[in-house]
């Protein structure tokens, strides 16, 4: 018997209509944990490096995580993996909600989809019964409408549904996969789902998930619940409210938006508006939120309540989470939050990425204002800021007119439009739109995080440490109960907090490169564990002092699965996954030149120093100066097969 | 006579449908304890509709061999919102293990399951679902209630009493007599 996991994948070939239940290899769990980790291994094994995102050979993997469906609080993430249509690299995309626990209760850890359906279909998984069903009548329906329609026609209100909207159907490069409570948005995997003509997957499961060491496992769960409660009651002093709590972050609960509005850039990631946030704005915005927000809700088995049900008159209801509350408002340079709530309804029903879509639209407006796009390119383009965003969004998700070009995202649109549009592509990394943040002094820790993160998405890489030096008088207090630090690093990391901000202990030339590398590795590694366990970063890798950390996570795995696990083994498994994904991207053409933040991310840049930092970081990670994992690194992580492949491709020379 | 009544208070304004109560219940009642989780086995089920802001935890209550007549339709949040009609495809907010649906039945055997307020040795401070509900939608209370002392009827007594109420004592006696003769 398998514990914590079901031990089965569902293999679906949409070209032939064949569905098979396949037993997974228990060795995989030990080496690659589950979720993202095992997805990565499947991609490496089965999707060759030259496969196009829209090839029938591209896999689209919908995975639960190793701890999903166990009693572990907040283990509910769905991890979707495929080749991204936007940058042709390994596509990370994840979401919370209720879908992946349901999948495991139905008896499957993953649904692996290949091929392409000749016409629109959806998948219905009801325990042992699987069906590919006609979805032609659902074409054009929104993400939420699709889910409701399917539940209703199956007469199964307890079915959990993930679906795509118009954007996914029309293969918009930043289309999301949506489930009411969650959005899997980054890197356009909704477009891959659309390309396969898979409108939705509905699941209902009523089977058991077994726990290897039940009493021990439950005790750890109770400790986590206690700590969640403690952290909700005692926010961390001395950091902005948005970073003081746990969650993803608490955008729907908190009204104080000074942190985001002062430090993030408006428009097409261009300018900061310091001083915009004042008492009057705060009151208006608080009123808007309290008017439209009906209720705060959580994902499956989680008490943290990061999302809000939003109901705006004249717009269909939706569920809002995280920073998208601000992304449209800021990109459109609109001062009222009402607009944000309105356009988000459309955006989530269409199914688009709330980070990328506003950037693309702001980019289009910039081109228009600079005469690169004209009224002949955009006949009927409105004058009003808000109307412009609605207009552009409607065009993009239908790929109509200028929308056809913009639907590929800033990088490709800039190159297709030409006429100097390329110069306006200033906020992408690896062809992917970034959080709109433009700062002054180079932050060497974030420099490495932004540049080298395989996910190309800072919020899924960062965490654990405060983002600014703490005031001197609270530093001692802060490090006193900082139990989350990995074994052996306690002194160094605590010392970092205690000194940071003192004379000579400031960015950019401090901390030393080796400490930067260690801090980056810690932040990133915790995310890789979460993504494999199916744990929400909001209670684990993202916040400061999270309930889950490197000391209790191995216990969850050991007690849950019965597999022998400790801190070192778990850390190494995460490194294995991290290096495998990097290696996979290298076979798909990733180069050191691609590892750079947007040029204007910081005003003050230090090219030589940055290169030195990068060299040191690569060295620390066991990568050569090209950023390629060395033979020793690969062999140490049991990735000999990667090394052999690298030799075959000429990436490494045989020794 | 005084009797202790155990109460799980359900605050619908606080419930947000996360189903932690289902997880805790299913895990606690598995055998061995916590060895498996399956919310379908949970003795508390959350009726939920995210878009309508409907989250209603319902405890498994009684077994019934026959479904009830008609179907209730609930209006929820009328004051706060536009007023939602809520009715699942079969029925809603009922704790019965009933032939009309799969709820409150063991998924394998179909046997009915009902809430036991986590009676166990040693006793819990509060039922598991309450313990795991960190948002306090579920809270636990014990009340003392005055109850009249009553003579508990045997099962057969109850059945015959029903017959007597319906047909009168004489007719029942006649029938029993006739049946006795037939058997001889």
At residue A573, the 3 state secondary structure works out as helix
Exposed, middle or buried by CB within 10 Å (0-12, 13-18, 19+), for B184? exposed
Question: What value, to the nearest 5°, has the Cα angle with vertex B162 and ends B157 and B166?
Answer: 145
Residue B157 phi/psi, 5° resolution?
Answer: -55, -45
Nearest CA-CA distance, residue A311 and chain B, Å: 9
Instruction: Tell whether the model's pLDDT for residue B88 goes beyond 80.
Output: no
A248 and A140 inside one domain: no
Bridge partners of A23? A8
- What domain count does chain A have? 3
Q: Which residue of B has its CA nearest to A4?
A: B36
Through-space distance between the first and last CA atoms of chain B, rounded to whole angstroms: 47
Domain boundary residue among A204, A220, A252? A204
A170 and A316 inside one domain: no
The region that residue A431 occupies, defined by phi over 0 for left and psi between -120 and 50 for alpha, beta otherwise, is left
Q: Using an 8 Å Cβ cutoff, are A466 and A542 in contact?
A: no
Q: Do A302 and B20 touch (CB under 8 A)?
A: yes
A413 and A286 inside one domain: yes
User: Is residue A621 a part of any domain in this protein?
Assistant: yes
Residue of higher predicted confidence among B92 and A439: A439
d(CA A483, CA A233): 18
User: Is residue A85 a part of any domain in this protein?
Assistant: yes
User: Is residue A506 a part of any domain in this protein?
Assistant: yes
Give tens-digit pLDDT for A274-327: 889 999 999 999 999 999 998 999 999 999 999 999 999 999 999 998 789 999
What is the arithmetic mean of pLDDT over B156-168? 85
Nearest CA-CA distance, residue A104 and chain B, Å: 10
Q: At what angle do helices A444-452 and A607-621 cross, to 10 degrees?
A: 60
Helix (H), strand (E), coil (C) string for A175-208: ECEEECCEEECHHHHHHHHHHCCEEEEEEECCCC
Instruction: Tell whether the model's pLDDT for residue A424 goes beyond 50.
Output: yes
A498 and A415 inside one domain: no
Residue of higher predicted confidence among A281 and B68: A281
d(CA A311, CA B84): 13
d(CA A188, CA A207): 32
User: Is residue A214 a part of any domain in this protein?
Assistant: no
A160 and A277 inside one domain: no
Q: Using an 8 Å Cβ cutoff, are A548 and A54 in contact?
A: no
Bridge partners of B3? B145
Instruction: Sort strands B2-10 and B138-146 into parallel, antiparallel or unpaired.
Output: antiparallel
Q: Do A206 and B38 touch (CB under 8 A)?
A: yes
Give tens-digit pLDDT for B14-54: 999 999 999 999 999 999 999 999 999 999 999 988 888 88
Cα A57 to its chain centre, rounded Å, is 24
User: Is residue A229 a part of any domain in this protein?
Assistant: no
d(CA A79, CA A282): 36
Reported as a pLDDT band with limits 50, 70 and 90, residue B87 is low
Instruction: Tell whether the model's pLDDT for residue A225 goes beyond 70.
Output: yes
User: Is residue A213 a part of any domain in this protein?
Assistant: no
At residue B3, the 3 state secondary structure works out as strand
Of the candidates A70, A209, A298, the beta carbon closest to that of B18 is on: A298
CATH of the domain at A640: 1.10.599.10
User: Is residue A220 a part of any domain in this protein?
Assistant: no
Reported as a pLDDT band with limits 50, 70 and 90, residue A502 is very high
d(CA A124, CA A202): 5
The answer to whether the Cα torsion of A106, A110, A114, A118 is positive or negative is positive
CB pairs under 8 A between A and B: 101
The mean predicted confidence, pLDDT, of chain A is 96
Give the residue numbers spanning the domain of A38. Answer: 8-204
d(CA A305, CA B16): 8
d(CA A540, CA A542): 6
Q: What percent of chain A has pLDDT over 70?
A: 100
Residue of higher predicted confidence among A247 and A75: A75
d(CA A454, CA A432): 11
A419 and A536 inside one domain: no
Q: Do B132 and A317 touch (CB under 8 A)?
A: no
A415 and A509 inside one domain: no
Q: Do A210 and B17 touch (CB under 8 A)?
A: no
The helix (H) or strand (E) run that includes residue A113 is strand A110-114
Instruction: Tell whether the model's pLDDT for residue B102 goes beyond 50.
Output: yes
A421 and A450 inside one domain: no
A475 and A603 inside one domain: yes
Residues in contact with A648: Cβ distance below 8 Å, sequence separation at least 6, in sequence order:
none
What is the arithmetic mean of pLDDT over A127-135? 97
Give tens-digit pLDDT for A508-546: 999 999 999 999 999 999 999 999 999 999 999 999 999
Of the candidates A73, A181, A217, the beta carbon closest to that of B34 is on: A217
Chain A positions in Cβ-Cβ contact with residue B86 (cut-off 8 Å): none
Exposed, middle or buried by CB within 10 Å (0-12, 13-18, 19+), for A616? middle
Of the candidates B16, B41, B89, the beta carbon closest to that of A295 is on: B16
A591 and A505 inside one domain: yes
What is the arithmetic mean of pLDDT over A109-123? 98
Residue B80: the pLDDT is 44
At residue A644, the 3 state secondary structure works out as helix
CATH of the domain at A377: 1.10.569.10
Domain boundary residue among A408, A432, A456? A432
CATH of the domain at A113: 3.60.9.10
What ipTM was assigned to the predicted interfaces of this complex? 0.95
Nearest CA-CA distance, residue A120 and chain B, Å: 25
Spans of all domains in chain B? 2-146, 153-184
Give tens-digit pLDDT for A154-208: 988 899 999 999 999 999 999 999 999 999 999 999 999 999 999 999 999 999 9
Bridge partners of A82? A91
Q: Do A297 and B18 touch (CB under 8 A)?
A: yes
Query: Token pair 């001062």 is at which residue?
Result: A335
The residue among B20, B29, B30, B40 whose CA lies nearest residue B101 is: B40
A414 and A448 inside one domain: no
Q: Using an 8 Å Cβ cutoff, are A260 and A58 in contact?
A: no
Q: Do A144 and B40 touch (CB under 8 A)?
A: no
d(CA A27, CA A643): 20
Residue A57: the pLDDT is 98
Q: Do B18 and A208 touch (CB under 8 A)?
A: no
Nearest CA-CA distance, residue A190 and chain B, Å: 22
- Is some CB atom of chain B closer than 8 A to the CB atom of A303? yes
What is the arithmetic mean of pLDDT over A380-391? 98
Residue A613: the pLDDT is 98
Domain boundary residue among A365, A399, A432? A432
User: Is residue A623 a part of any domain in this protein?
Assistant: yes
A53 and A126 inside one domain: yes
């Amino acid at each position: 018997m398998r514990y914590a996991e079901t031990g089965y994948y569902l293999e679906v070939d949409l070209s032939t209509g064949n569905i098979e239940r396949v037993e997974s290899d228990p060795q995989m769990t030990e080496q690659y944990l589950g979720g993202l980790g095992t997805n990565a291994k499947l991609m490496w094994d089965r999707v060759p490096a030259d496969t196009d995102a829209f090839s029938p050979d591209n896999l689209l993997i919908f995975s639960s995580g190793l701890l999903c469906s166990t009693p572990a609080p907040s283990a509910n993430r769905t991890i979707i993996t495929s080749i991204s249509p936007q940058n042709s690299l390994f596509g990370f995309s994840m979401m919370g909600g209720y879908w992946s626990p349901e999948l495991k209760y139905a008896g499957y850890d993953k649904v692996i989809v290949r091929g392409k359906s000749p016409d629109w279909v959806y998948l219905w998984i009801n325990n042992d019964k699987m069906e590919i069903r006609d979805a032609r009548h659902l074409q054009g329906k929104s993400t939420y409408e699709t889910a409701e329609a399917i539940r209703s026609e199956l007469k199964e209100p307890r079915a959990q549904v993930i679906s795509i909207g118009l954007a996914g159907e029309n293969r918009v490069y930043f289309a999301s996969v949506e489930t009411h409570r969650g959005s899997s948005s980054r890197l356009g995997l909704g477009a891959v789902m659309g390309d396969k003509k898979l409108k939705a997957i509905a699941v209902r499961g009523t089977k058991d998930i077994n726990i290897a060491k039940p009493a021990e496992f439950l005790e750890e769960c109770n400790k986590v619940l206690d700590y969640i409660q403690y952290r909700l009651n005692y926010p961390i002093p001395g950091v902005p409210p948005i970073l003081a709590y746990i969650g993803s972050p608490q955008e729907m609960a908190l009204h104080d938006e000074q942190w985001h509005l002062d430090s993030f850039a408006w428009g097409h990631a261009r300018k900061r508006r310091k001083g915009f946030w004042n008492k009057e704005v705060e009151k208006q915005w608080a009123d808007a939120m309290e008017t439209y927000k009906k209720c705060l809700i959580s994902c499956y088995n989680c008490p943290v309540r990061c999302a809000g049900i939003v109901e705006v008159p004249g717009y269909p209801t939706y569920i809002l989470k995280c920073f998208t509350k601000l992304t449209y408002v800021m990109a459109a340079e609109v001062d009222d939050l009402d607009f944000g709530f309105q356009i988000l309804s459309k955006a989530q029903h269409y199914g688009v990425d709330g980070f990328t879509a506003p950037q693309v639209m702001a980019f289009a407006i910039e081109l228009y204002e600079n005469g690169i796009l004209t009224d002949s390119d955009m006949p009927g383009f409105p004058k009003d800021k808000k109307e412009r965003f609605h207009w552009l969004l409607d065009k993009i998700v239908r790929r109509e007119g200028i929308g056809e070009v913009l639907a590929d995202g800033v990088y490709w649109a800039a190159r297709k439009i030409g006429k100097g549009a390329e110069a306006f592509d200033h906020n992408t990394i690896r062809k992917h739109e970034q959080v709109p943040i433009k700062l002054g002094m180079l932050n060497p820790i974030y420099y490495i995080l932004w540049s080298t993160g395989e996910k190309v998405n800072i919020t899924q890489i960062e965490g654990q440490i405060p983002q600014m030096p703490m005031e001197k008088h609270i530093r001692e207090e802060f490090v006193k109960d900082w139990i989350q630090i990995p074994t052996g690093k306690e002194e160094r990391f605590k010392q970092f907090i205690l000194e940071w901000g003192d004379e000579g202990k400031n960015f950019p030339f401090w901390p030393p490169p080796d400490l930067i590398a260690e801090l980056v590795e810690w932040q990133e590694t915790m995310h890789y564990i979460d993504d494999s366990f199916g744990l929400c970063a909001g209670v684990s890798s993202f916040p400061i002092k999270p309930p889950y950390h490197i000391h209790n996570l191995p216990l969850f795995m050991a007690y849950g699965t019965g597999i022998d696990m400790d801190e070192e083994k778990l850390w190494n498994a995460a490194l294995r996954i991290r290096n495998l994904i990097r290696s996979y991207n290298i076979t798909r053409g990733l180069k050191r030149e691609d590892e750079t933040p947007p040029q204007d991310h910081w005003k003050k840049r230090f090219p030589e120093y940055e290169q030195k930092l990068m060299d040191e970081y690569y060295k620390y990670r066991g990568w050569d100066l090209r950023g390629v994992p060395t033979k020793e690194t690969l062999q140490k992580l049991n990735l000999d097969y990667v090394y052999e492949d690298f030799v075959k491709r000429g990436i490494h020379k045989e020794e | 006579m005084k009797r202790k009544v155990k109460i799980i208070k359900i605050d619908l304004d606080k419930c947000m449908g996360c189903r932690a109560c289902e997880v805790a219940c299913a895990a606690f009642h598995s055998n061995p304890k916590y060895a498996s989780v399956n919310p379908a086995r949970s003795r508390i089920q959350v009726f939920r509709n995210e878009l309508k802001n409907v989250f209603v935890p319902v405890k498994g209550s009684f077994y019934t061999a026959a479904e009830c007549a008609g179907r209730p339709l609930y209006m929820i949040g009328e004051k706060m919102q536009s007023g939602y009609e809520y009715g699942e495809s079969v029925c809603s907010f009922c704790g019965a293990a009933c032939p009309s649906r799969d709820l409150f039945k063991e998924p394998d055997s179909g046997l009915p399951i009902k809430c036991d307020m986590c009676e166990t040795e040693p006793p819990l401070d509060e039922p598991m679902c309450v313990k795991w509900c960190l948002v306090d939608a579920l809270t636990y209370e014990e009340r003392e209630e005055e109850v009249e002392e009553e003579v508990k009827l045997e099962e057969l007594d109850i059945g015959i009493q029903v017959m007597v109420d319906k047909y009168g004592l004489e007719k029942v006696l006649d029938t029993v007599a006739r049946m006795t003769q037939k058997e001889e």
